[in-house]
Amino acid sequence: MNKQTIMLLLYLTLCLNSFNTFGQNKYDVKKLASALMKYDDFSDFSDGLAPVKKDGKWGFIDNMGKEIIPCVYEYDEIHFFDEKFFLVEKGGLFGLIDKKTGEELVPCGYRRISKFSEDLALVRKPVKKDGKWVDQWGFIDNTGKEVIPCIYQMGNDFSEGLAFVCNERGECGFINNTGKGIIPFIYHRAGRFSEGLAIVGKKYERYGVIDNTGKEITPCIYIEINSFNEGLAQVKDKFGKIGFINRTGKEVIPCTYQEGNRFSEGLASVNKDGKWGFIDNTGKEVIPCIYQKVNRFSEGLVSVNKDGKWGFIDNTGEEVIPPVYSWAGTFSEGLAFVSKGRGKCGFIDRTGKEVILCIYQKGGDFSEGLAVVWKDGKQVFIDKTGKEIIPLYDYDLYDRRDFGDFFVVKRTNTMSSTYLWGVIDRTGKEVIPCIYNHIGKFSDGFARVGIQSSLFNNFSWVYGFIDKKGNYIYQGGIVEFNKTK
């Protein structure tokens, strides 16, 4: 262990000694820490295994430090892929190995391997044609066999038994999982199939909709088609006007509007002659186009702007909360964020009662009983009574990640203008100090962390693991968070 690493670990020990644990499960991390000393490098845990490197070769250990698969694989890197495979890299090419056995199922011969979809993975492979190397696309199955040869210039994942591919002439169509052409190669663009339909595009940026037999239920006449939502898809005609088609391809709401949005709770906002209103799925204008701006419906209400002020109406257009605000958001968990002006933001209930005073600079929607608001330029979590639950005054950002009731936070390192990450609980207590330049995703109880140092004018990283109990595990031992001063 070099002098720089020793100094970094001494720094870690000093930082961590005064912090308490979070999580109640018992872990025997001593074996893991001891095992890491034998290896030159390691990566994240996934499904109980972590790649480790020794003498230039990779193998795998479990979370007790036991070497499950010997270090015999000569790869440059090993990455997480999915629940069955690790992605391995050698010389800029990728392959797959089985997590349980370590068997190489797909040799490192591909420039890209996509995630499996319907038991097939899209791959891109260098192929020599006419004396030149070109990249072509095909598909492998979950045994590693290339079941659809790499003969295509472009491809997409399988969805509902079909995949969009393009030949060397730029003609595109759909094939099935045996590679048989199902839908003719007459298109230039296409989306994935969803509930039996796919959006396709021909030359000159004209779009339509086909079913899974290739039948054009909507001809390619629109310059834009959005995805279906509540049974309808928004379309834009050649004149730039907005309308809607149904799943049979019929234009049930004519293209007469200047702008429009997706349906939400049975209604869609549309703009006519510069004013906004709402239509139902028959095209009936149930709320007249009289508003300057509108939001989307949520919990039966929508915020609208009339004469420069925001209020709320219901789905019949009846005014529920008068337009008295300079801004109003959408209802979430029974409350909506509103503003009375710069630095005067709070929350109201469905009756318009100001249940959380307008004393904040800005804020966001409630989620799981908490909302983030800004006070004096800093963030704080409040509950539905307005009580400040988690002060975030000392932090620049928070992230729920997968910590459950804990939050990943980051703070600016004033010495280097970089960010340092840590973890706080729902009371705001810092259970893992902000000393890490990187905190990875938790898997199997561990997250990989890294600290970058500029000691001796030479930047380097020291990596280790943290567990939810509060231990920092590295190649030299363990630093425990649960020591007291």
Report the alpha-carbon distance of residue 341 to residue 371 in Å, rounded. 19
Longest Cα–Cα distance in the chain: 75
Nearest Cα to 297, choosing from 327, 318, 266, 272? 266
* pLDDT at residue 40, rounded to an integer: 86
Give per-residue burial for 311-346: e unless 16+ CB within 10 Å, then b. bbbebeeeeebebebebbbbbbeebbbbbeeeeebb
Report the alpha-carbon distance of residue 244 to residue 209 in Å, rounded. 13
* pLDDT at residue 19, rounded to an integer: 40
Break the chain into its structural domains and give their ranges. 23-110
Is the pTM above the cut of 0.85? no
Helix, strand or coil, per DSSP, at residue 16: helix
Cβ pair 334, 356 in contact under 8 A? no
Torsion angle, CA of 254/257/262/265, rounded to 10 degrees? -80
Residues 6+ apart with CB under 8 A from 39: 52, 53, 54, 71, 475
Q: What is the DSSP letter of 215?
A: -
Cβ pair 150, 127 in contact under 8 A? yes
Neighbouring C-beta atoms of residue 100, cutoff 10 Å: 13
User: 23-110: what fold?
Assistant: Thrombin, subunit H (2.40.10)
Q: Which two tokens stand for residue 476?
A: 């030299």
* pLDDT at residue 24, rounded to an integer: 38
Q: Position 143: which residue type? A: T
Cβ pair 55, 40 in contact under 8 A? yes
Distances (CA, A) of 446 to 9, 24, 35, 79, 432: 19, 14, 15, 16, 13
Q: Which two tokens stand for residue 380?
A: 């704080």
* pLDDT at residue 26, rounded to an integer: 37
**Phi-psi sector, 265: left (phi>0), alpha (psi -120 to 50), beta:** left
- Give the DSSP H or E segment for 9: helix 3-16
Report the alpha-carbon distance of residue 111 to residue 97 in Å, rounded. 16
- Give the DSSP H or E segment for 31: helix 30-36
Cβ pair 81, 87 in contact under 8 A? yes
Q: Which two tokens stand for residue 272?
A: 């006519």
Q: What is the DSSP letter of 443?
A: B
Nearest Cα to 161, choosing from 228, 218, 213? 213
* pLDDT at residue 457, rounded to an integer: 45
Count of alpha carbons within 13 angstroms of residue 278, beta-carbon side: 25
Average pLDDT across each block of 10 residues of the chain; the chain has 485 residues. List them in order.
Answer: 42 41 47 83 82 90 86 88 91 92 91 96 93 94 95 96 94 96 94 94 90 96 94 96 96 96 94 96 96 96 96 96 95 96 92 94 88 84 88 65 65 70 77 80 78 55 75 62 40
